[in-house]
Structure 1
């Protein structure tokens, strides 16, 4: 299975609904394909305009490094030089914190990533996982 526009839109809708249901601050959500290219993005009313780049950076780090944002943050804490070098190699496009969630298909293959921003990083990850799980895929936060 590949991520298509309809699946991406459903992930986004559920992530935004999850944010509203849990009284989170306005969220922004992006879905990237396995190559790190945006499939879809949506910003809730009231979300700040710079949120696209943050959401994309969270998801981009997940798909490019093959690890969720939480694992990236842990790696950065123990090896900040490595993470800084990797971020430099990717033109500063990584945001290595929770909220960047790797998406795997039923066979465990990486097919993309979801980036959510707007609330705490942990809450962002909760919303991303809800969206991913709603379409029968597995998220790795």
Structure 2
């Protein structure tokens, strides 16, 4: 099972609505399916040049390591050499900052990930979670 275009667009729209309600800096948001293929993407007016790349690295890193990027960033503090190696061997497909969030369906199956970039990691992550929740999906790594 993987995320549908309709679900991805719902996440995208709700995440952007949440961002505007929080007066966030301009964001880029990408939703990837379970195979890390882009399903939906938006870059708000004024978002800087690398925001898409960072958002995608957050989403693909979450998928690749099976955890939200907040968790991965915390783990990286204790083992920086390993995580720098992961970034290198994956060609930069991991960003060590909150905002990459695993997407799960109602049966807790992994169906994709969202990556958000443009504001602080906390705000990026909050926008991603707001989008996932508004789409009627859930988030997070397996227990």
Pairwise TM-score range, normalised by the shorter structure: over 0.9
Secondary structure at 1:114 match in 2: strand
Q: Give runs of aligned pairs for residues 24-43 of structure 1, distance below 5 A.
A: 24-43=24-43
Please, what TM-score do these two structures have when normalized by structure 1? 0.95
Once the two structures are TM-superposed, the CA of residue 96 in structure 1 deviates from its matched residue by 1.9
Residue 77 (structure 2) pairs with residue 77 (structure 1): yes
Please, what TM-score do these two structures have when normalized by structure 2? 0.94
Once the two structures are TM-superposed, the CA of residue 44 in structure 1 deviates from its matched residue by 1.0
Counterpart Cα distance in 2 of 1:78 and 1:87: 16
CA RMSD in angstroms, aligned pairs only:
1.2
Counterpart Cα distance in 2 of 1:4 and 1:107: 15
Once the two structures are TM-superposed, the CA of residue 140 in structure 1 deviates from its matched residue by 2.1
**Partner residue, 1:100:** 100
**Partner residue, 2:139:** 139
Q: Please say if residues 103 and 137 of structure 2, whose CA atoms lie closer than 8 Å, have aligned partners that are also in contact.
A: yes
Once the two structures are TM-superposed, the CA of residue 88 in structure 1 deviates from its matched residue by 2.1
- Corresponding residue pairs, total: 141
Extract unaligned runs of 5+ from structure 1. none
**Partner residue, 1:15:** 15
Q: 1:9-67 CA deviation, whole Å, 9 max, x = no partner?
A: 11011101100001111111000011111111001111113211000000010011100
Once the two structures are TM-superposed, the CA of residue 71 in structure 1 deviates from its matched residue by 0.6
Runs of at least 4 residues of structure 1 off by over 3 A?
none
